[in-house]
A and B are shown apart, each in its own frame.
Chain A
């Protein structure tokens, strides 16, 4: 049984990765650079696109910071709303989601 599972796992892992490795082995090509077209943009979209075009490192840092901040604030806000409704999910250790 253990042997069968080991072989099964190995085959699955290889079947997942082999196509990628095989295709990745193609000839060298130049990096595709995507430039955001800011001409028709305004407001927050314009800010994001300009940041993206001007400094990728700052854009990447912002992406991480804003995503984390939004994730935490939305989660806390929803927890607060749910606890007002009478369901405090923060007190449950049993629940998990990925």
Chain B
């Protein structure tokens, strides 16, 4: 069974390469389908497959950079990126990533990196799962209320941006595309916090940065999405650079995962066209929980079960999304054929 293992030249470990392809592919499918990154599963997944933790983080962050290039280019084309805001945020993002990476290296030096990163991941994934299930609960509640004729249908969100814009800490700056004026320290602070998390966990940080751009900075949603992607790309590239300098990156694994992600992203994106209902979010939440459980198992040395759970969960969710895509595409083709037959008749 040696052929199932690929040698990683820098880390010096032999890795089960189908697992690597599966992780890359799944990140593409899940990222493409849900519109949010799958980086949260890469670092734990790589660690469970056998990568030392620092290598898993460095490899994840580099893979995110490659994956976000095309998405950023698309959004840039549509004018959704506020470059002034993006460049200001880079100060905080890069400083944050460097701090995150330095914490990782410090933890590695004292031999505590594995457990600390795993437990931080457990907290982080619990938070994501809570957000997903709470979101689903709210959607179900709103749907039930909308059946009630006395319900107006209005929904309220917490928006701190107007209050934060009143902080008159110079220099103040106007961001034309986002159409906001605020102290430059506000975006720098937001990007610094998300940067530390990105550098420490090896994620893009968009899961936190995008809501922060909307609710703290006050950017319109489409500008928040585009500018966030710009940050993800730059933070990924800077992360790749700094982790390479620290010697904690495995480029071969990055390339293998990028190939899988490129194909998976297209399938995930096409599947969104045919997906119906809000229940799919529950599936996503379950995948997050499965990832969390596998990290806990890995922490207690139950590596085989951890591997089976994480690879099994992402396989199931990928198959589920692919079934949605193929079934939807087949229906569409059938309808088109019936329509053309009807026209001929």
Contact = CB atoms under 8 A, between A and B. Distances in A.
A98 B68 contact: yes
> In terms of DSSP, what is the predominant structure of the interface of chain B?
helix
Nearest to A93: B78
> In terms of DSSP, what is the predominant structure of the interface of chain A?
helix
B127 A75 contact: no
Interface string A74-90: 11111101100001011
Contact of B70 (A31, A57, A63, A76): A76
Contact of A20 (B12, B73, B116): B116
Contact of B80 (A59, A68, A93): A93
Nearest to B79: A93
Contacts of A56: 244-245, 247
B158 A1 contact: yes
A60 interface: yes
A89 B242 CA distance: 32
Contact of A98 (B9, B204, B251): B204
B44 interface: no
Contact of B266 (A2, A57, A70, A89): A89
Nearest to B261: A74
A1 to B, nearest CB: 7
B32 to A, nearest CB: 5
Interface residues of A, number: 62
A25 to B, nearest CB: 9
Contact of A24 (B106, B210, B269): B106
A54 interface: no
Contacts, number: 188
A50 B106 CA distance: 26
B71 A97 contact: yes
Which has the most chain B C-beta neighbours within 10 Å: A29, A87, A93?
Answer: A93
Contacts of B50: none
A64 B127 CA distance: 31
Contact of A29 (B65, B67, B78, B109): B109
Given A63-B62, A71-B66, A97-B265, A87 B270 contact: yes
B228 interface: yes
A37 B62 contact: no
B69 A68 contact: yes
A76 B259 CA distance: 12
B107 A23 contact: yes
A87 B332 CA distance: 13
Interface in A1-23: 1-2, 5, 12-13, 15-17, 19-21, 23
Contacts of B255: 66, 70
A64 B193 CA distance: 23
Contact of B37 (A1, A15, A29, A98): A98
Interface stretch (B117-125, B275-283, B286-294, B305-313): B117-125
Nearest to A61: B241
B88 interface: no
Interface string B194-205: 001100100010
Given A75-B69, A90-B74, 14 more contacts: A16-B120, A16-B127, A20-B116, A23-B116, A24-B110, A28-B109, A32-B109, A59-B244, A63-B241, A67-B254, A71-B65, A74-B258, A74-B259, A75-B70
